[in-house]
Amino acid sequence: MRDHTEDAAPGAGADPDPTGPDTGSGTGTGNDPDTDSRAFRELLRGLRVWPGELPSFDPERAPGDPLPLFRQWLREAAEAGVAEPHTMSLATADAAGDPSVRIVMLHDADERGWHFGTHRGSRKGRDLAARPRAALAFYWPAAGRQVRVRGTVAAAGPEESAADLHHRSTGALAAALVGRQSEVLGSMAELHRAADAAWERAEREPDAPVPSWTLYVLRAEEVEFFQGDHRRRHVRLTYRRAEGGWERELLWP
């Protein structure tokens, strides 16, 4: 997950290394490990973030509840052409406390919380059964914005979970019907056979049940909004749940 709270502004570029690796096939991998490592560092140092103008954000005008601001920012990201603005990083931890993070899609955000779905037997499903807490991160580079959310997670009931799945695309249903998420796969041919059969069933039976599919709702305890600034005067506004509402405070970037 990109964390622009510490180093988010464009950095200084670097001149190309004339002794860089002979990539040959164009893969960027040379025969000399030291040369390849140096070229990789030069690549990273030469990359830029936020090449265009960034929107302004006045935290004094932010609403008292984080949900309207989150919806506004996601809508603005979509209107700005950010690809897949509803994708987010989901971080969980297993019973031993070992963390995992992956990209998933947001299914909804309402007064109950932030919604996402998965199989109960997947790694994230097992993590949430052992430790029902999670963190989310959204990043919209065209606007220099990110939102971080953390809190407790609860599973919705079977009817709501089924309705969530069946309101999605045929491809989503086919993927759910394949199931076995996070299990060891014997071969790609095995996956192709299972996926073909699942697609056929999803098209033939759009309400096909998938008992393991579960909708989860993260009830936020803390929501942080980050607005980047080219001069590193980043704005960080944090909402913390308190009795009867939300408390807001600014953080040093």
Q: How many helical (H) and strand (E) elements, i.e. helices and strands, does the chain have? A: 6, 9
pLDDT at 252: 96
Which residues neighbour 111 within 8 Å (Cβ) at sequence distance 6 or greater? 67
Over 60: is that where the pLDDT of 13 sits? no
Give Cα separations from 219 to 62, 67, 69, 96, 154 (angstroms): 20, 11, 16, 23, 8
Over 70: is that where the pLDDT of 7 sits? no
Task: Measure the N-to-C terminal CA separation of the chain; round to a whole number of Å.
Answer: 17
The predicted-structure confidence for 104-162, as pLDDT tens digits, reads as follows 999 999 999 999 999 999 999 999 999 999 999 999 999 999 999 999 999 999 999 99
Chain centroid, CA 170 distance in Å:
22
pLDDT at 10: 36
Amino acid at 250: L
d(CA 227, CA 73): 10
The predicted-structure confidence for 186-244, as pLDDT tens digits, reads as follows 999 999 999 999 999 999 999 999 999 999 999 999 999 999 999 999 999 999 999 98
pLDDT at 76: 96
pLDDT at 182: 86
d(CA 157, CA 221): 22
With tokens 């180093």, the residue in question is 7
The predicted-structure confidence for 29-79, as pLDDT tens digits, reads as follows 557 889 999 999 999 999 988 878 899 999 999 999 999 999 999 999 999
d(CA 42, CA 45): 5
Average pLDDT of the chain?
89
pLDDT at 12: 36
pLDDT at 28: 54
pLDDT at 181: 86
What sign does the dihedral 223-216-127-191 (CA atoms) show? negative
d(CA 23, CA 26): 5
Cβ neighbours around 81 below 10 Å, total: 8
d(CA 179, CA 235): 42
Chain centroid, CA 36 distance in Å:
30
CB-based contact 35:20 (threshold 8 Å): yes
pLDDT category of residue 15 using cuts at 50, 70 and 90: very low
d(CA 145, CA 77): 9
Over 50: is that where the pLDDT of 5 sits? no
pTM of the model: 0.83
Over 80: is that where the pLDDT of 22 sits? no
d(CA 57, CA 143): 11
CA atoms within 13 A on the CB side of 20: 15
With tokens 């040093």, the residue in question is 252
